[in-house]
Structure 1
Amino acid sequence: MLAAKTNSVITTTLSPEAADIHGIGDQTSCHSSGSSSSWWKKVLDVEEAKNQVLFSLPMILTNVFYYAIPLVSVMFAGHLGHLQLAGATLANSWATVTGFALMTGLSGALETICGQGFGAREYKMLGLYLQASCIISFLFSVVVSIFWLFTEPILILLHQDPNISKAAALYVKYLIPGIFAYGLLQNILRFVQTQSIVMPLVLLSVLPMAIHLGIAYALVHWTSLGFKGASLAASVSLWISILLLATYIICSKKFKHTWQGFSFESFSLILTNLKLALPSAAMVCLEYWAFEILVLLAGLMPNSEVTTSLIAICTRVSNELGAGNLDRAKSAMAVTLKLSVLLALIVVSALSFGHNIWAGFFSDNPEIIKKFASLTPLLAISITLDSVQGVLSGVARGCGWQHLAMYANLATFYFIGMPIAGLLGFKLNLHARGLWIGLICGLVVQASTLMLITLCRNWTKMDIPVVNRETETQVEGQSQT
């Protein structure tokens, strides 16, 4: 039931009746029915929440495990020394800014078009769009990998510490194979998730994560690679993830209609894919860049090794904990928002009481651990805000509003958040705390803007392309039904 609702809101027209059911439209019927129910049901639709949790929990775990692969490598590198920690965190931030975020954004087009194809029963189109998206990701990965070869001079040009820049460039060099795998991974995940197949993904993400722990430890401590072995381990583990997912799709009967093998027909769909992929990538990148620019700004401050490591750790914790947002069940947005905030509060509580443990994963430096504790309240606020905007961003992707979210992210982070961060961090000498307060200001305005877009847009007219004219007729028929 939840799967059908999810695919419907991603791909087809959300009818006014459906909007009313989920609290998006007229609230009169909800109020009258709620008056006879318990106070708890007035706060939260328990049945809807149960369905969403059962559907979303496997996806949360899947995303967390996959996102944790590069993060664990940074942890292994960080325990080799202060310079290695600063270099690895800066490298990971640089890789996220210029590569990983881009791949995540490009794959976002599949959330719309694969969902649309599945809802319209154009099953063959899912496999073709997956191939088209993989071709796009591969081409962009080639460009990114060439760009990464010039990491050191670029970072130095951005006034980063020369020693840290050299270490970061070395780390990124061994991540180059991983960027190709990461792009394919994101596409395959969207392909599978839009078909509401989520439970097998948990096992398929846990297994490479477990393998990665062994590979990272072995390459860092048992070989002469050392620091380089940490990033190489991430690349190897990402490719293992691809092999497992590809084997599952090819062998499982669940995909016999949506994956019918490779076809040259996919090349004709590249331009259609790009129309959504590019604004989707811009939408994601603008947000990720705002976080990672803080890391670069931290490198301009006194005691840059400690400051860069501190901001980078906060960025990684914020991003990875925020990766578990319940942003898929878009048709029941009100319930999703409540669940997402509840999840964020649980995470924030764990972070508040265990901040020394979190920091200890990355470094044994008492100074970094102490300063991380001082930023924990600000980090908690940003995670809570990020949980809200994560749901609203999911609505934007599902409805084809990527271009609107892109403009919102550009305005809120770069014309509001970044100037405030620079003013507080450098002019008022609040340093790392000032940078993070500026980011929070951007998050507040971003979440508010996305909420206005969601409430003001006409949900019965989603800005998504149809697969073909026959599909369009099917979609309109489903909407009228």
Structure 2
Amino acid sequence: MSSQYGDPEAAETPLLERKAAEGRWWSKVIDVEEAKDQISFALPMIITNVSYYFIPLVSVMFAGHLGELELAGSNLANSWASVSGFTLMVGLSGALETLCGQGYGAKLYWMLGIYLQASCIITIIFTIIVSVIWWYSDIILTLLHQDAQIAIAAGLYLKYLIPGLIAYGFLQNILRFLQTQSVMMPLVVCSLVPLALHVGIAYALVHWTTLAYRGAALAASISLWISVLMLGLYVLKAKKFKQTWTGLSKKSFGHVSSNLKIALPSAAMVCLEYWAFEILVLLAGLMPNSEISTSLIAMCVNTEAICYMVAYGLSAAASTRVSNELGAGDPNRARRAMAVTLKLTVLLALCVVSALAFGHNLWASSFSDSPVIINAYASMTPLLVISISCDFVQGILSGVARGCGWQHLAVYINMGTFYFIGMPIASLLAFKFNLHAKGLWIGLICGLTAQMIGLLLLTKFTKWTRIEMSEDSSVKTIEA
């Protein structure tokens, strides 16, 4: 009674409003404001990543309509490009999630431009190496026992995709530079506009010029460069970057080696996981009914990849929030941000797997008209539900690892869980116990589960420290 009538503030508060405030149970379950911020961050990231994923895919679609050889060649080229180049560029740019994220949180704004330039120098070095591999890809793919004609077609496609590789590397660096400053909507515009233009460019080059098949790959390169130029001009012209981008500087060369110390483990962390999925497709080709098994596993891998793009939006939010808070010297807020992201991930995963569980036949029919394939995919759906759920959680924890600068530790976790647990179990179940495609996917689930547990233990028992890079470009960790 005394609290209600004796307190003037309480007397002035309407009873219904106070009761409503007490009844907001969800505010006790999750930090609503933090959740809103992360959702507003994640949605643009999802749109951006899906758009950039579709630019090379649309080119493959245009090439595929020219004939069966062109379809096989462009698909093989796109897979080889992802394995040997695009994934590497994504991984190398992960160093900026740590350095720019923590630098922005620590208010060392001018250093963000230095880190970006150092990362672009690294990108140039690695694109030269990968470009040489792509130039001779027809020979390499033939040595890997691919059909000679398809290998030649894939090699031709990749030669015209080389300019796109350089653009893709720069693009990933600029994305991380903007992401760590929570600049999101320009990313959406600079990904959707090039994607829309890409459809017209691809159609024109394939059908209105003598380039035809080669024009599909060249169109992807042109569209990726359009996106780079749009984002680059935005960074140069927008006043909000006057502190984080102060122009080209020779100091960036002094930070290349220290940037590499984070970039290389980051690239290995991403590539080891991606390659594990590709190995499953190769193993499926060794089965007795290889045509069906390969198609089925490829469909499952594509489903997992598309679902992971949704999770990646929240993963980027976790990475940015954690790195910003650690840079500001507040590890407790960083942990709270991670907890909110994990709760949002559970809700998002439930929505995605529910849609897959009820709509798997419709989804499978978009890949194939074969009743055998559709029925086989239906039998794989329960396993996909489990793997996608694990992938969502580990995706967030991987984002936390990038934000904290733990890439060198996450590499060992990914190596051990996928290549010493997941792949051996997959091979054993598929070939020894004749579980075939299901055996392969159960092995993958074992690897994903072990990876998730390993990353959980990493976040639980590793000190949350921030990275400090001094003027002499040495890297060290200090207590946040």
**Considering the TM-score relative to the shorter chain, is it more than 0.5?**
yes
Q: How does 1:343-382 map to 2 (within 5 A)?
A: 343-355=348-360, 358-359=363-364, 368=373, 371-382=376-387
In structure 1, the partner of 2:267 is 281
Residue type matched to 1:291 in 2? F
Residue type matched to 2:139 in 1? P
Give the TM-score normalised by structure 2: 0.83
| Displacement after TM superposition at 1:226 (Å) | 4.6
Q: Does 1:334 align with 2:339?
A: yes
1:110 to 96, 111, 120: 96
Please state whether the residue corresponding to 2:463 is helix, strand or coil.
Answer: coil
Q: Does structure 2 conserve the Cα–Cα contact (< 8 Å) formed by 1:175 and 1:232?
A: yes
In structure 1, the partner of 2:469 is 466
1:250 to 236, 246, 249: 236
Q: Does structure 1 conserve the Cα–Cα contact (< 8 Å) formed by 2:62 and 2:202?
A: yes
Indicate the larger mover: 153-162 or 125-134.
Answer: 153-162
Q: Measured at CA, do residues 204 and 357 of structure 1 come closer, stay the same or move farther in structure 2, by a change above 3 Å? A: farther
Matches of 1:198 and 1:132, distance apart in 2: 23
Q: Does structure 2 conserve the Cα–Cα contact (< 8 Å) formed by 1:170 and 1:228?
A: yes
Percent sequence identity over matched residues? 66
| Displacement after TM superposition at 1:108 (Å) | 0.6
In structure 1, the partner of 2:112 is 126
Q: How does 1:378-393 map to 2 (within 5 A)?
A: 378-393=383-398
Residue type matched to 2:141 in 1? L
CA offset digits 1:39-87 (Å, max 9, x no partner): 4334333332222212222222222222222233344445556655544
Unaligned runs of 5+ in 2: 1-21, 323-333
In structure 2, the partner of 1:260 is 246
Please state whether the residue corresponding to 2:310 is helix, strand or coil.
Answer: coil
In structure 2, the partner of 1:426 is 431
CA offset digits 1:219-262 (Å, max 9, x no partner): 44555545444333322221111111111111111111111222
In structure 2, the partner of 1:95 is 81
Residue type matched to 2:83 in 1? V
| Displacement after TM superposition at 1:368 (Å) | 4.9
Question: What's the C-alpha RMSD, in Å, of the aligned pairs?
Answer: 3.0
- May I ask how many residue pairs the two structures share in their alignment? 440
In structure 1, the partner of 2:139 is 153
Unaligned runs of 5+ in 1: 1-35
Residue type matched to 1:324 in 2? V
In structure 2, the partner of 1:199 is 185
Q: Does structure 1 conserve the Cα–Cα contact (< 8 Å) formed by 2:198 and 2:223?
A: yes
Matches of 1:444 and 1:46, distance apart in 2: 29
Q: Does 1:443 align with 2:448?
A: yes
Q: Does structure 2 conserve the Cα–Cα contact (< 8 Å) formed by 1:112 and 1:398?
A: yes
Indicate the larger mover: 128-137 or 166-175.
Answer: 166-175
| Displacement after TM superposition at 1:134 (Å) | 0.5
**If you compute each CA radius of gyration, which structure gives the higher value, 1 or 2?**
2
| Displacement after TM superposition at 1:280 (Å) | 0.8
In structure 2, the partner of 1:408 is 413
Residue type matched to 2:135 in 1? L
Matches of 1:205 and 1:41, distance apart in 2: 35
Indicate the larger mover: 232-241 or 94-103.
Answer: 232-241
Q: Which has the higher contact order (CA 8 A, sep 6+)?
A: 1
CA offset digits 1:118-142 (Å, max 9, x no partner): 2222222111111110010111011
Indicate the larger mover: 128-137 or 68-77.
Answer: 68-77
Matches of 1:220 and 1:345, distance apart in 2: 41
Q: Does structure 1 conserve the Cα–Cα contact (< 8 Å) formed by 2:258 and 2:475?
A: no
Q: Measured at CA, do residues 449 and 270 of structure 1 come closer, stay the same or move farther in structure 2, by a change above 3 Å? A: same
2:34 to 48, 61, 66: 48
Q: Does structure 1 conserve the Cα–Cα contact (< 8 Å) formed by 2:258 and 2:473?
A: no
Matches of 2:102 and 2:122, distance apart in 1: 20
Indicate the larger mover: 118-127 or 139-148.
Answer: 118-127
Residue type matched to 1:179 in 2? L
Matches of 2:211 and 2:367, distance apart in 1: 19
CA offset digits 1:123-176 (Å, max 9, x no partner): 221111111100101110110011122323333433444454444334333322
Q: Does 1:189 align with 2:192?
A: no
Residue type matched to 2:105 in 1? G
Matches of 1:247 and 1:254, distance apart in 2: 13
Residue type matched to 2:172 in 1? Q
Indicate the larger mover: 406-415 or 56-65.
Answer: 56-65
Residue type matched to 2:243 in 1? H
